[in-house]
A and B are shown apart, each in its own frame.
Chain A
Amino acid sequence: MVTIARTKKQRKKGQFFILGAILICSLFFIGLPRFTPLIKQPSSDLPYISSNLQSELPNALNIGLNGSAMLDTMTNFSHFLETKLRGRKINYTSLWLVMHNQSSGVNVTGGNFLGEEITISINITDGSGSTVESLIIPKGTNNSTLFSSVENTYNITIAFSDQEESESYPRDKVSLYAFYRLTRSNDVIKNHIFA
Chain B
Amino acid sequence: MKGVWFTMESMIACIIIGMFVIFVSTGYVIEFQYVDASEMAYDILKGLEDRDVLRGYAIALDYEGLGSEIDITGYNHTVNICNSAGSCVGPEPDAADVWVGSYLIAGQSVYQPLEVKLFVWELS
Contacts and interface: CB of A to CB of B under 8 A. Distances in A.
Given A20-B13, A41-B30, A63-B109, A52 B2 contact: no
Interface in B33-75: 33-34, 36, 38-39, 42-43, 46, 49
B105 interface: yes
A64 B30 contact: no
Contacts of A53: 104
A22 B30 contact: no
Interface residues of B, number: 39
A145 B43 CA distance: 40
Contacts of B6: 11, 13-14
A116 interface: no
A192 to B, nearest CB: 19
Q: Is the interface of A mostly helix, strand, loop or mixed?
A: helix
A63 B106 contact: yes
A64 B109 CA distance: 9
B38 A45 contact: yes
Interface in A80-104: 80-81, 83-84, 87
A77 B113 contact: yes
Interface string B82-124: 0010100000000000000101111111110101000000000
B9 A48 contact: no
Nearest to A29: B29
A178 B5 CA distance: 67
B7 to A, nearest CB: 8
A10 B90 CA distance: 70
Contact of B5 (A14, A25, A55, A63): A14
A186 interface: no
A80 B84 contact: yes
Interface of A: 7, 10-11, 13-15, 17-18, 20-22, 24-25, 28, 32, 36, 39-42, 44-45, 48-49, 51-53, 55-56, 59-60, 63-64, 66-67, 69, 72-73, 76-77, 80-81, 83-84, 87
